[in-house]
């Protein structure tokens, strides 16, 4: 389980995150939503060690990861899938996946881990020898997530995986996330602008505004909260499942 308390971070003298608290039990998905510039990507960077927190604590399965280098945090079991699906375009899908395995914590062969990724994203199976840069946007996102999974993380944090993708691919990717949390007991933190899609798969939602958590609750509770709905979900948002 991921347990974050009082987390603050920023860039040079600019403080962006202000005392963020959140908890994600194993097997659950926490969606983080909020307007552009709310600090969602900054939160993920502070979790994964790309950005050093200025205050607060990040605990993973009882271990304090605060202030560790990104490689150490990855090795401890937190995989970060950053925005814009950063695959290595000239390397094949197979090599992109292999690169994700270097921090793996548990035993088991790379082949078994790769088989798991291909079971989750079957459309990658026929494209293993294709340069990743020639894949569609959705397929590249699958490679980026698959690469994170090759390290067998306990916690997966994803930054806007639906960005620019057709609804069918968004549905495929979110179905894979649902499978990962229930069948593999992963704790997932999902930053999303696509609120409807995120609410369908989330167990809990955090709303951020100017670097602070301004609301927390189940998707149904937040949709039922007039203040949250009008300020953060858009005026015509009537149900999480429509
Ligand atoms: P979006 O939904 O647009 O991706 P976000 O909620 O993820 O937004 P962040 O990217 O975390 O927001 O940005 C939060 C604030 O931090 C913004 O004001 C942004 O300008 C600032 N910021 C982000 N990255 C940097 C950086 N490398 N250097 C300086 N300021 C930054």
- For 54-70, the pLDDT digits (tens) are 999 999 999 999 999 99
Check if 42 has its Cβ closer than 6 Å to any atom of ligand 1.
Answer: yes
- 1-77+153-162+186-242: in CATH 1.20.910.10: no
Q: What is the pTM of this model?
A: 0.92
Check if 11 has its Cβ closer than 6 Å to any atom of ligand 1.
Answer: yes
Quick one: which atom of ligand 1 is closest to the CA of 208? 6
Per-residue pLDDT of 98-155, as tens digits, reads 888 765 555 567 788 889 999 999 999 999 999 999 999 999 999 999 999 998 899 9
**Two structure tokens written together for 154:** 């306990």
Q: Are strands 78-81 and 2-11 parallel, antiparallel or unpaired?
A: unpaired
Quick one: which atom of ligand 1 is closest to the CA of 38? 6
156 sits in which H/E element: strand 155-159
Cα–Cα dist 222/219, whole Å: 5
140, 187 in Cβ contact below 8 A? no
Residue with CA closest to ligand 1 atom 15: 37
Quote the ligand 1 centre to 9 CA distance (angstroms): 11
Residue with CA closest to ligand 1 atom 29: 11
**Is the pLDDT at 40 greater than 90, yes or no?**
yes
**Is the pLDDT at 86 greater than 90, yes or no?**
no
Tell me which residue has tokens 């914590």.
105
Residue with CA closest to ligand 1 atom 20: 37
């Amino acid at each position: 389980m991921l347990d974050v308390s009082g987390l603050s971070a920023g860039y040079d003298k600019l403080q962006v995150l202000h005392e963020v608290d959140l908890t994600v039990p194993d097997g659950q998905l926490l969606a983080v939503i909020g307007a552009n510039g709310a600090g969602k990507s900054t939160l993920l960077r502070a979790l994964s060690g790309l950005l050093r927190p200025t205050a607060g604590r990040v605990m993973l399965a009882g271990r304090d990861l605060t202030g560790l280098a990104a490689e150490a945090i990855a090795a401890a079991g937190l995989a970060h899938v950053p925005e814009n699906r950063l695959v290595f375009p000239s390397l094949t899908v197979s090599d992109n996946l292999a690169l994700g395995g270097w921090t793996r914590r548990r035993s088991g062969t790379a082949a078994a881990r790769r088989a798991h990724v291909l079971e989750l994203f079957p459309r990658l199976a026929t494209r293993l020898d294709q340069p990743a840069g020639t894949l569609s946007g959705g397929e590249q996102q699958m490679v980026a997530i698959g690469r994170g999974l090759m390290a067998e993380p306990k916690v997966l944090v994803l930054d806007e995986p639906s960005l620019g993708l057709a609804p069918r691919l968004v549905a495929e990717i979110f179905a894979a996330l649902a499978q990962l949390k229930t069948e593999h007991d992963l704790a997932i933190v999902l930053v999303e602008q696509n609120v409807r899609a995120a609410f369908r798969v989330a167990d809990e939602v955090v709303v951020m505004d100017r670097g602070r958590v301004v609301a927390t609750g189940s998707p149904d509770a937040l949709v039922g909260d007039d203040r949250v709905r009008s300020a953060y979900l858009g005026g015509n948002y009537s149900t999480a499942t429509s």
